[in-house]
Amino acid sequence: MSQTCQTPQGRLSDLETSIDTIIDVFHQYSRREGDKDTLTKGELKLLIEKQLVNYLKHVKNQVSVDQIFKDLDINKDHQLSFGEVMLLIIKVTIATHEHLHFCEDQQQQHHHHHHQHNH
């Protein structure tokens, strides 16, 4: 089966839309300097500052952009491919998911205390 390059038929699901957004955002930054399909350290810094400012906080060990870049640059070519940047997005997404559960647990504990006061 050959892949066709037509636009998808039918509406994209929420998840498919999210995937599209991730790819779009990557390209908004990867096109700025150097290779148009990889991120330089400068492009990564911009992407983080503009696109991950709220959720990167949820990742346990806060490290510098330099360190993030070094960790993601698996093949050490001083640029980040889409796959390498996805590792950061996965990490942030998992940390955010854990944070949401943590907040839910906090709220539930809070509610339990309220019930005790009512009785």
57-80 in b/e burial notation, b at 16+ Cβ within 10 A? Answer: ebbeeeeeeeebbeebbeeeeebb
Which sequence spans correspond to the domains of the chain? 14-118
Q: Which residue carries 């839910």 as its tokens?
A: 104
pLDDT-based confidence at residue 115 (cuts at 50, 70, 90): low
Q: How far is CA 110 from the centre of its chain?
A: 30
DSSP-derived letter for residue 37 is: T
Kindly report, residue by residue over 25-80, the tens digit of the pLDDT: 999 999 999 999 999 999 999 999 999 999 999 998 888 999 999 999 999 999 99
HSE-CB at 27 with a 13 A cutoff on CA atoms is 6
pLDDT of residue 118: 55
Residue type, 2: S
Average pLDDT, the chain: 90
pTM: 0.82
The CATH homologous superfamily for domain 14-118 is EF-hand (1.10.238.10)
pLDDT of amino acid 88: 97
